[in-house]
């Protein structure tokens, strides 16, 4: 059996939008400079170890369907090393600058916590060697606090103090590993947090436990001198669900108010999924020393032209109510305010409490 799963794949290169090569970049040119930075620096693409190499292709109806050598029976640590070698060949051939991982993606779980820690330690050395060989960095590390049955009722919010302690020890170990590998961020994903049903839960206790857990993570970050950012990754929410999340995490919890210096949220709260016929401008910015030269108007005109070519009926965006210059520009170019919303999270993190959702009609919707 060959050691390389990708030996017949050539490195993926930029070949332009007209290429017929299915294994080439059409639009991503890593060295192209855009707004003063290369595309690689702007986008910072990363491959997630979990989705790409740990998942076996299973679903709720059946077993895994991916025929990959590191999924075959055998010594778990040797299989992990084989997976590591192939993973870095994949990262390197894609030409990405970063990768990400959960602890259980890269090293098997042992029979005890100590054994799991030892297995992770034994994979860190070859991982560090591969990172040095390929010059690929770690964008973030995280602990898998969801796959094992012990986390059925949560990790930080679990009613069993032994599970809480196990989760805390697991996060500490992976935060140490992320620091050792020079990781740029550490992620906490709460997909399992919360008890199974409201019939046996105590929300105040859950919140208190989560607060203690995150405080411990922030303390350990400071203790070991980790300079990266701690990221809390909530699930994707609708606007109504995000309002509920904000009330939970800010008004009732008060947690982010005390920990905001240590944590950042991946999803701040202005999630917007464009509807049919809508073109949504997620971000628009002009460097401070280039403002007042009509660049903002040109960017909007370019976005509008893009939308019209695709027969979109309206152009939309969110803007901070306090950003008077931007609002004035949008109004001059034909945008009107459709609705407003308050965001407790952006008020705490950025001092922006009120947002306006603006729209420019490009065509009347079909009858």
- The burial of 138, by beta-carbon neighbours within 10 Å (0-12 exposed, 13-18 middle, 19 or more buried), is given as buried
Which tokens is 80 given? Answer: 């992990």
Contact 138, 183 (CB under 8 A): yes
Which tokens is 33 given? Answer: 């400079």
CA distance 149 to 128: 30
CA distance 299 to 335: 14
- 20 CB-near residues (< 8 Å, 6+ apart): none
CA distance 104 to 125: 16
| Strand positions, DSSP E, the chain | 33-34, 37-38, 46-48, 98-102, 137-142, 185-189, 229-233, 263-265, 278-281, 314-320, 336-342, 354-361
- 362 CB-near residues (< 8 Å, 6+ apart): 304, 307, 308, 312, 313, 314, 315
Which of the residues are catalytic?
102, 105
CA distance 3 to 259: 46
Contact 356, 362 (CB under 8 A): no
CA distance 268 to 233: 10
Give the H or E element holding residue 307. Answer: helix 295-309
């Amino acid at each position: 059996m060959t050691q390389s799963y990708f030996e017949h794949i050539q490195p993926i290169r930029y070949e332009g939008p007209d290429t017929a090569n299915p294994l080439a970049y059409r639009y991503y040119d890593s060295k192209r400079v855009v707004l003063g930075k290369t595309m690689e620096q702007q986008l910072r693409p990363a491959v997630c170890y979990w989705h790409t190499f740990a998942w076996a292709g299973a679903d709720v109806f059946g077993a895994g369907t991916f025929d990959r050598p590191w999924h075959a029976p055998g010594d778990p640590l040797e299989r992990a090393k084989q997976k590591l070698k192939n993973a870095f060949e994949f990262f390197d051939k894609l030409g990405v600058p970063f990768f990400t991982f959960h602890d259980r993606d890269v090293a098997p779980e042992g029979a005890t916590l100590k054994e799991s820690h030892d297995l992770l330690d034994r994979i860190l050395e070859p991982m560090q060697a591969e990172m040095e060989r390929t010059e690929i960095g770690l964008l973030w590390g995280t602990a898998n606090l969801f796959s094992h049955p012990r986390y059925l009722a949560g990790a930080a919010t679990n009613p069993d103090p032994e599970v809480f302690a196990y989760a805390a020890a697991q996060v500490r170990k992976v935060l140490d590993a992320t620091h050792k590998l020079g990781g740029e961020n550490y992620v906490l994903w709460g997909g399992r947090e919360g008890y199974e049903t409201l019939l046996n839960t105590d929300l105040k206790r859950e919140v208190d436990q989560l607060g203690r857990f995150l405080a411990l993570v922030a303390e350990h970050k400071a203790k070991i001198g980790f300079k990266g950012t701690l990221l809390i990754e909530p699930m994707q929410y609708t606007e109504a669900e995000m309002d509920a999340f904000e009330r939970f995490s800010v008004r009732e919890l008060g947690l982010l108010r005390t920990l905001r210096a240590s944590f950042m949220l991946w999803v701040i709260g202005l999630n917007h999924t464009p509807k049919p016929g809508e073109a949504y401008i997620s971000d628009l910015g002009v460097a401070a020393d280039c403002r007042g030269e009509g660049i903002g108007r040109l960017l909007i005109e370019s976005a509008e032209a893009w939308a019209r070519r695709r027969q979109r009926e309206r152009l939309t965006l969110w803007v901070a109510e306090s950003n008077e210059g931007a609002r004035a520009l949008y109004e001059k170019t034909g945008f009107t305010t459709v609705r407003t919303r308050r965001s407790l999270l952006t008020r705490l993190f950025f001092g922006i409490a009120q947002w306006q959702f603006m729209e420019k009609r490009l065509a009347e919707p079909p009858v």
